[in-house]
A = this chain, B = another copy of it.
Amino acid sequence: MTDVKSGNNPLFLREEELRQSIELLFFAYRDFTAEPDQILKDYNFGRAHHRVIHFVGRNEGMTVSELLDILRITKQSLNRVLSSLITRGFIEQRTGIEDRRQRCLYLTEEGRKLEQKLSRVQRDLVARAFREAGGDAVAGYRKVLSGLINDTNRDKILDGILKP
């Protein structure tokens, strides 16, 4: 406690608090993805497939470019994952009605089942954490995480999450 860095130095306390909060995010994300990863193994899918299934499930009919914009990966990266999901019957593509260049993405029956399965374990995990933390804490969690999203696209994302 007589350490120069600790003691009563408020700047140190602040830095320490920030570092702790950064680690919390790492550990929470690590454990939050562990269960789905296990399930995906049974299908020979990976986390990338999960993300596609998740976002297509949340935005049925979204286009490939919209998906790319969310995932922030190249179309070549997406393509491997997406085409395996299509080939194996978890996702379906339909030509856009207004713009026939677009490929609109939908979950198949099978895809929806897997989406449910994956979503279930994550929702249960979050639900438990929410229940234990209480309503005010949940509001704080959402507020802080929203603030962590890059402000250049925060509004777009938050609009998307809190559906139009």
Is residue A147 contacting chain B, with contact meaning CB distance below 8 A? yes
Is residue A28 contacting chain B, with contact meaning CB distance below 8 A? yes
Indicate whether A20 sits within 8 Å of B161 (C-beta atoms), given known contacts A29-B29, A150-B34. yes
- Report how far A163 CA is from B15 CA in the complex, Å: 14
Is residue A41 contacting chain B, with contact meaning CB distance below 8 A? no
Stretch at the interface among A87-95, A99-107, A131-139: A131-139
Is residue A48 contacting chain B, with contact meaning CB distance below 8 A? no
List of B residues within 8 angstroms of A128 by Cβ: 147
* Shortest Cβ gap from A15 to chain B (Å): 7
Is residue A45 contacting chain B, with contact meaning CB distance below 8 A? no
List of B residues within 8 angstroms of A58 by Cβ: 19, 23
